[in-house]
Amino acid sequence: PLVGKTVKEIRFRTRYGAAVISVHREGKRVHDHPGNIKLHAGDVLLLEAGPNFLERAADQDSSFALLSEVADSAPPRLKMLVPALSLAAVMLIVFTAGVTSLLICSLVAAMLMVLLGILTQQEARKAVNWEIYITIAAAFGIGSALTNSGVAEGVAKFLVQVGDAVNIGDAGLYAAVYFATFLISNVVTNNAAAALLFPIALQAAEDSGADRLLMSYCLMLGASASFMSPFGYTTNLLIYGPGGYKYNDFLIVGTPMQIVLWVISVAILSVGDQWYLFWIGTGIALVVVTVIRMNPGRLYPARNQTE
């Protein structure tokens, strides 16, 4: 029933309750979007499925000649969802109330998660990504060198000049810093980008008289917005290879997202005390889009009938 049809045509996710991540044919990965690949006999599919998929597919379906589970993969422990969320909420409440620092709160929450079985000791050890810490430490060293050598001051003055040239107040400076940050973040990791530009952004804020806290928010948002490259963020790399994506895919899809977030973030940072209006508008838009995506039949009844 699968041979000669694409994953999208047979509605694989709806039919089998699993998502096709990658397709291998004759020992080589098919470099195309999984939904557009026409399946052949003997293809190897890498699937993301629920815990009961193997048993259900083996007993009731003859579409697959061989089924095996990927080593070290495990289904989500949904029964631990409520305890995990509760601990996270308590951690934030205690920190917000000013009882202790965020470091102490997070350490206590992490230890409780291990003690309660939400997280195993091995998972806790694997969760510590030493490469990130080394990268951040090296970036701080480079940032200090930029500050001591005067490069940070020079770049900061240039960003201030760019912001003044736009003639829209502090918004121009925020836009320039955000732009520079997300460009670097698409080349190196977001942590390194934030650490490199931190002294430059603060120097620019001091030179222009802009709010240093808002400038920190601008830097944080810009460093986290790396959609135009597969190398700027870990999750981008996770799907880059198995999903058969190309660099152009990130440019085509990520560039509009980058521009929209750039404009929205700068606008929110620039409105001052009325920032909540943007959050309300964004929340309403999110609810509307979610409702539309969850109920496509109401908007496209004829299309659903033909399918």
Three-state SS string over the chain comes to CCCCCECCCCCHHHHHCEEEEEEEECCEECCCCHHHCECCCCCEEEEEECCCHHHHHHHHCCCCCCCCCCCCCCCCCHHHHHHHHHHHHHHHHHHHCCCCCHHHHHHHHHHHHHHCCCCCHHHHHHHCCHHHHHHHHHHHHHHHHHHHHCHHHHHHHHHHHHHHHHCCCHHHHHHHHHHHHHHHHCCCCHHHHHHHHHHHHHHHHHHHCCCHHHHHHHHHHHHHCCCCCCCCCHHHHHHHCCCCCCHHHHHHHHHHHHHHHHHHHHHHHHCHHHHHHHHHHHHHHHHHHHHHHHCHHHHCHHHHHHC
> Which pLDDT belongs to residue 275?
61
pLDDT confidence band for 213 (50 / 70 / 90): confident
Q: Is the confidence at residue 176, as pLDDT, over 80?
A: yes
- Give me the mean pLDDT over the 173-179 stretch: 84
- Residue pLDDT, tens place only, 57-66: 666 566 777 7
Q: Is the confidence at residue 196, as pLDDT, over 60?
A: yes
- Hey, which of 35-49, 83-97, 114-128 has the most confident mean pLDDT? 83-97
**Calpha distance 23→41 (Å, rounded):** 12
Q: Is the confidence at residue 151, as pLDDT, over 60?
A: yes
pLDDT confidence band for 23 (50 / 70 / 90): confident
**Residue for token digits 């033909």?**
306
> Which pLDDT belongs to residue 282?
73
**Calpha distance 173→206 (Å, rounded):** 12
| pTM, to two decimals | 0.52
Q: Is the confidence at residue 302, as pLDDT, over 50?
A: no
